[in-house]
Amino acid sequence: MAAPRAAAVAEPDAEKRMASETHAAIRELTRHRKQGSAADARVLGGRAALERLLTEDLPDRELRVRKITDLNELGDYIAKVGERAKHEFLSLHSSAVPTREMLQSSAVADLKLLERGVHLRVVYPTSFASIDYVRSYVAEQAQHGATYRFADAVPYRIIVADGTHAIVPIVAAKKALGALVTSEPVLVRPLRHLAHSMLRRGVDHDAIDPANPHNGPTEMELKVIRVMALGLTDDVAAKRLAVSERTFRRYVSSVMERLQAVSRFQAGVRAVERGWL
């Protein structure tokens, strides 16, 4: 009986370690963002804003941030934000694949947005593209003017309306715990930049083979990109991954090629844009 208990403990510990490494990688990339372009800085600023929302002790007196844990209240708040949207409703989905019923329900509100001239922009994980009814729904909504893109990975759920209101779950994998909602410009604007960068890097549903959708980075690719972002020397990074320096450099070359990056810093930014970090 001891072994199952140990295994049960190991999984959350691994998740915490992975989250800690990701936080450290984002902080290091942000610290060096002057190495990149203005667009790179905006992407990292958005990821840093998300880190601030999810890891700092918010809300506080200085920022307009509110925590909503009652799901009925949260649903009402999201509905009101949608009803008041005038220009853009931007959504990143990191949760489980929506059911047919969920899509049918959201279609009514989505069509009302589009009829009012609001730009509806949505990013789904590429894994959703293998679901026939999701592809049909996306194609139908696109005919009404909605924009849907599929990204390698979408590790967080974000809703941004008109660049003035943002909604982020308190815990990404546990929507039932509620969300943080904010109208604070210092947080909303960079979150919008982050969402737009993922939208821009995403692909249309008809560009994906539904029988073989891309399911994001491998576990080793994630490990490599994290240590790259930390700025570790190759020998230290190789030891951390328990591989030789030669093998580590081969991994780095492969990751940079896949991300179409010309530097390790740029690879980190591209990883953020594609939802790897």
pLDDT in tens, 211-237: 776 667 888 999 999 999 888 899 999
Give the range among 57-66, 147-156, 220-229, 248-257 with minimum mean pLDDT.
Answer: 57-66
Quick one: pLDDT band at residue 1, thresholds 50, 70, 90? very low
DSSP 99: P
Quick one: pLDDT band at residue 23, thresholds 50, 70, 90? confident
Angstrom distance (rounded) from CA 248 to CA 242: 9
pLDDT of residue 133: 93
Residue 7 has pLDDT above 80, yes or no: no
pLDDT of residue 85: 95
Beta bridge partners of 149: 123
**If you average pLDDT over every residue of the chain, what do you get?**
86
Q: What are phi and psi of 168, to 5 degrees?
A: -135, 130
pLDDT of residue 3: 40
Angstrom distance (rounded) from CA 89 to CA 53: 20
pLDDT of residue 9: 40
Percent of the chain residues topping a pLDDT of 90 = 52
Comparing CA positions, the residue from 215, 154, 160 lying closest to residue 188 is 160
Angstrom distance (rounded) from CA 91 to CA 157: 8
In order of start, what are the domains of the chain with their CATH numbers?
Answer: 12-42+217-277 (1.10.10.10), 57-207 (3.30.870.10)
Give the range among 49-58, 71-80, 111-120, 241-250 with minimum mean pLDDT.
Answer: 49-58
Give residue 82's identity as a one-letter amino acid code.
G
Q: Which residue has the higher pLDDT, 210 or 148?
A: 148
pLDDT of residue 62: 64
pLDDT of residue 145: 94
Mean pLDDT of 190-203: 91
Mean pLDDT of 62-78: 89
Distances from the Cα of 189 to the Cα of 6, 79, 108, angstroms: 43, 21, 28
Quick one: pLDDT band at residue 59, thresholds 50, 70, 90? low
Helix (H, G, I), strand (E, B) or coil at 148: strand
pLDDT of residue 206: 83
Angstrom distance (rounded) from CA 277 to CA 274: 8
Residue 120 has pLDDT above 90, yes or no: yes
